[in-house]
Amino acid sequence: MATIAVLGTFDTKGDEHAFVAGLITSRGHKPLFIDVGTKGKSRIKPDVSRSAVARAGGSTMKEIKEKNDRGHAVMVMSQGAPEIVKKFAEKNRIQGIISLGGGGGTSICTAAMRALPIGFPKLMVSTLASGDVSHYVGVKDVVMMPSIVDVAGLNRISRMILANAASAICGMVETEPPSANDKPLIVASMFGNTTDCVSRARIVLEKAGYEVLVFHATGAGGRTMESLIESGMVAGVLDVTTTEWADELLGGVLSAGPTRLEAAAKNGVPAVVGPGCLDMVNFGPPETIPEKFQHRNFYQHNPQVTLMRTSAEECADLGQAIGEKLSLSKGPVTFMIPRSGVSVISAANQRFHDPIADQVLFQAIRAYLRDDIPVKELPNEINDQSFAEACANELLENIAKAKYT
């Protein structure tokens, strides 16, 4: 028998959550009720009261009622609910979580779900699940199920949807996890323009006994990789494709945010970092490119993606950002420079070939990098086999260093 957290606004959607809880019980599992409602009386007796959630969010129900501001109430509960469910999960008192909600409920309850580790069963039935759910899912494996009709009473449609949702969460907690892979884990960042480099490096690392997870550096990929590093599951980081920083600084569409490169640095995870695809900023179709960039050097990657070559001035800013981030490192880290090209299309005779801009980038990284962090410069293009193997071997050396420090 598993215990499944049933989390929701029990004042407005108590009957619906009770219906789901009944189906969970019929499958032999135990619901644990957590109330995040802030208005009327709860229609379910909770195991965790709204007052407890409010306190965990740094407030009280009295303060919420006096303020009488829905946005403030949602904010408090969105801060408190994650703290509550995280403690339950850490103590193995819950093995899954489900919620049903509209706008406010979805915001609160997915905030709680995002606080739980990857692989922990999480299911949100929401009126918002048919649109862009990236804000609610973040970098976690939150399953979003469209409610079809509003979560406002039990009817022939809602009963069917909620029954499916209850069966889904029960199926998740009943599923035996796959047998553990005892190989230590390495994460790597890759783009289409650095595929050969990462693919060759992965072969070297796998032969050395590691399991390698590759993340596509598309913003969400970088954020997810950083989240996994923070979880403590990762033995090493092959972050040779740092292109998301170009989008962050210049307004491209694939930014991973201002904390990119911080997870390995702050947590002391051994790493090798490179300048992969810092020659490019990603935009959508040509008509979406900001007017201030119209005179620039572009490469049409496909009908939906237009790449813009970074200038020498922009490369100086990129070098500073990366140097400063890597200087936060608590563990062994090396920056690797492929002098003949940072992507397929920046190599000699290619559209983005600009050795001056590349040299400015490398100089800026050296200037802002902590003195004790090594920089290794090779004459190759980033996708040359020798450069890829050098990156992999350097990471193996850094992992070995970390074991003896």
pLDDT in tens, the chain (405 residues): 999 999 999 999 999 999 999 999 999 999 999 999 999 899 999 999 999 999 999 999 999 999 999 999 999 999 999 999 999 999 999 999 999 999 999 999 999 999 998 899 999 999 999 888 989 999 899 999 999 999 989 999 999 999 999 999 999 999 987 766 679 999 999 999 999 999 999 999 999 999 999 999 999 999 999 999 998 889 999 999 999 999 999 999 999 999 999 999 999 999 999 999 999 999 999 999 999 998 999 999 888 999 999 999 999 999 999 999 999 999 999 999 999 999 999 999 999 999 999 999 999 999 999 999 999 999 999 999 999 999 999 999 999 999 876
Count of other CB atoms within 10 angstroms of residue 52: 17
Q: Give CA–CA dist 205/185, Å, rounded.
A: 10
User: In the structure encoding, which two tokens stand for residue 217, read together?
Assistant: 């550096």
Query: Would you list the domain boundaries of the chain?
Result: 3-174, 185-403
The answer to whether the beta carbons of residues 53 and 111 sit under 8 Å apart is: no
- pTM for this entry: 0.79
Count of other CB atoms within 10 angstroms of residue 24: 25
**Helix, coil or strand: residue 176:** coil
> In whole angstroms, how large is the CA radius of gyration of the chain?
24
CB neighbours of 152 closer than 8 A, spacing ≥ 6? 13
Closest to 76 measured CA to CA, from 50, 47, 113, 102: 50
> Look-up: residue for tokens 């996994």?
228
**Helix, coil or strand: residue 138:** coil
What's 185-403's CATH class?
A: alpha beta
Q: Give CA–CA dist 144/129, Å, rounded.
A: 6
Cross-strand partners of 145:
125
The pLDDT assigned to 177 comes to: 75
The pLDDT assigned to 91 comes to: 96
Q: Give CA–CA dist 164/277, Å, rounded.
A: 44
- Is there a common fold for 3-174 and 185-403? yes
The pLDDT assigned to 321 comes to: 98
**Residue 336 carries which DSSP code?**
E
Closest to 279 measured CA to CA, from 238, 237, 312, 326: 312
CB neighbours of 15 closer than 8 A, spacing ≥ 6? 43, 153, 154
What phi, psi does 51 have (nearest 5°)? -65, -40
**Helix, coil or strand: residue 188:** strand
The answer to whether the beta carbons of residues 46 and 81 sit under 8 Å apart is: no
Q: Parallel, antiparallel, or unpaired: how do β-strands 305-309 and 298-302 relate?
A: antiparallel
Q: Give CA–CA dist 222/310, Å, rounded.
A: 20
The answer to whether the beta carbons of residues 218 and 252 sit under 8 Å apart is: no
Going by CATH, does the domain composed of 3-174 fall within 3.40.50.12020? yes
Q: Which amino acid is at 378?
A: L
Q: Give CA–CA dist 324/304, Å, rounded.
A: 33
The pLDDT assigned to 181 comes to: 67
Count of other CB atoms within 10 angstroms of residue 224: 21
Q: Give CA–CA dist 386/369, Å, rounded.
A: 25
